[in-house]
Structure 1
């Protein structure tokens, strides 16, 4: 009984996902795509081979997908760096945030911690995620006095 190339690749992809459950969805998609292409080549009819133009188009699509994923990864890194620099610039400034009781609290940012979920501000001893900040004002720095 001949095996359909799509079915063979799908079976191989499922076996890979079962044996390697820690693989990410992106890696699983790449592996599945490559396994489909290999299965198409392996199980093609020798008297009616696959169109090389179609094969090249699939390869180009795969390459474009990898490049777009790399751009998305780099963009995420840039966004993280911008958030880190923005949070660091808040040290010494007054911020307003809403506490768990729903009350607006104002305090001075004493420091910043960088967590996996994003920057967390130390506002007068309270840990406040940056995304919960409602407003920012200049700190309580004394204004310079001039003497005549």
Structure 2
């Protein structure tokens, strides 16, 4: 790195200590604090589109890409977008269905088994709490995940 005295007049020397790297998604810093790009672990429609554009940019002008190939790749991009939208809407529908199903269990008797400790229990569902991991049923003093319920019966007659 040039010394500060060798920097032309009117310019400021930039050193690692005088620069700041903005924290952007997918960007980390190395041991010196320099920004380092962290690659994505999955391919999405943006990555697919980037590959297609790069392929077109660097194609040989004397033998351009076949239009049939171009149309096939474009339709694949459309398919990837539609599948992504379908997965997103399916996940939302499943979450809504879980919430409705668990809310319908309030007041009912449930049996449950903890998959880790293999402890079993039963009791009336008094409340439902919705979390990022799924619905939790309040049974007595325990919070029971909906996935641990092994049986449901009608509420006891009073």
In the TM superposition, residue 106 of structure 1 has moved relative to its aligned partner by 1.3
Q: CA RMSD in A?
A: 2.3
On the 8 A contact 2:109/2:156 being kept in 1, the answer is: yes
State the TM-score, normalizing by the size of structure 2.
0.70
Specify which structure has the bigger relative contact order, considering alpha-carbon pairs within 8 angstroms and separated by 6 or more residues.
1
Structure 1 stretches lacking a partner, 5+ long: 1-15, 143-148
Pair member with larger Rg: 2
State the TM-score, normalizing by the size of structure 1.
0.74
**2:73 — aligned with what?**
58
Higher-helix-fraction structure:
1
In the TM superposition, residue 50 of structure 1 has moved relative to its aligned partner by 1.0
Superposed CA offset, 1:34-67 (max 9, x none): 2221122111121211111211110011101110
Misfit runs of 4+, over 2 Å: 16-25, 28-32, 98-104
**2:152 — aligned with what?**
136
Q: 1:29 aligns with which of 41, 44, 49?
A: 44
